[in-house]
Amino acid sequence: MILALRLLAMAAALVPLAAPSAAQSAEASSSVTLGEWIARDQAMGRLAPTPERTAQLDALQRDIVAALRMARAAVEAKEAASQPQGTTCLPPPGSVQFTSDEIGTWLYTRAPSEYGDSMAEVMERFLAHRFPCR
């Protein structure tokens, strides 16, 4: 499947549902669109193993982690503002609730109309999909 997402296995299990941090990397992630991220991920799949490829794969992973942090922060901000319960009910921070393969499959099945959306927006929709309120 997707190379960068295979590297996310441990990070996806530990980081995305943690409290938001690293505002600088989060800001960088907010400007990356889904289409740009997918294009970079596909390009990495065609490269031979080199230190440059590893660095680029690490950057893809950081984009996902930062976007997930931003998405969680957005959901929690809505909750804190006493807005009516939305469509997302997140588990406690630090809970392992999904895999990198699940994220990858979801990202690659998005409609082309979503390719211009920021990764943070896309990850907020992923969380709503993965953790619906019942």
| Domain residue limits at 112 | 3-130
pTM: 0.75
Residue pLDDT, tens place only, 44-80: 888 888 888 899 889 999 999 999 999 989 888 887 7
The CA-atom distances, in angstroms, between 2 and each of 7, 32, 39, 76 are 9, 18, 11, 30
Per-residue pLDDT of the chain (134 residues; tens, 9 = 90+): 444 544 444 344 434 444 444 444 445 545 799 999 999 999 988 888 888 889 988 999 999 999 999 998 988 888 777 766 667 888 877 776 788 889 989 999 999 999 999 999 999 999 999 888 87
Domain total of the chain:
1
- Pairwise CA distance, residues 10 & 5, whole Å: 10
